């Protein structure tokens, strides 16, 4: 049972990381100034576009390799809550025909919350680094 849960967490971690990474890269490739303008048009400071995009890229990479999974997942959950409340809530769950709804944001939020609670040890850089230290500490005590 534990192995199945860990494999499932690995799949969720890598998938969420890859999707956020892609979203962040696309924001820069499509012209970050467009995203800055869009942020300003919805009442957010334009500079936040750089922060959000960078968080998506760095956090996405971190999740893919399994570095600080719980922390990054909390940050992504907060991003999804903000995006849902500020942008998507008004267009509804399934969207309005011109803009997607918040159904995908809810899925990302659910995955992020799962990973924040449970973490993911399989093929995880954090687990490789900290697991060795904790075993040595247990042996010393």
Contacts of the segment 39-44: beta carbons below 8 A, 24+ positions apart = 42/86, 42/87, 43/86, 44/86
Share of the chain above pLDDT 70, in %: 92
Q: Is the pLDDT of residue 75 over 60?
A: yes
Q: Is the pLDDT of residue 136 over 70?
A: no
The per-residue pLDDT for 130 is: 84
Mean pLDDT, range 2-18, rounded to an integer? 94
Q: What residues does each domain of the chain span?
A: 2-140
Residue linked to tokens 């918040």? 102
Share of the chain above pLDDT 90, in %: 81
Q: What is the mean pLDDT of the chain?
A: 91
């Amino acid at each position: 049972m534990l192995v199945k849960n860990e494999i499932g967490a690995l799949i969720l971690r890598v998938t969420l990381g890859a999707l956020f990474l892609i979203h962040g890269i696309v924001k820069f490739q499509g012209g970050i100034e467009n995203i800055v303008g869009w942020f300003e048009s919805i009442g957010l400071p334009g500079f936040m576009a750089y922060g959000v995009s960078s968080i998506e890229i760095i956090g996405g990479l971190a999740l893919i390799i399994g570095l600080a999974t719980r922390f990054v997942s909390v940050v992504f959950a907060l991003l999804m809550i903000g995006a849902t409340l500020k942008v998507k809530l008004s267009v509804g769950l399934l969207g309005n025909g011109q803009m997607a709804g918040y159904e995908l944001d809810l899925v990302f939020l659910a995955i992020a919350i799962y990973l924040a609670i449970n973490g993911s040890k399989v093929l995880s850089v954090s687990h490789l680094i900290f697991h060795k230290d904790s075993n040595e500490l247990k042996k010393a005590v």
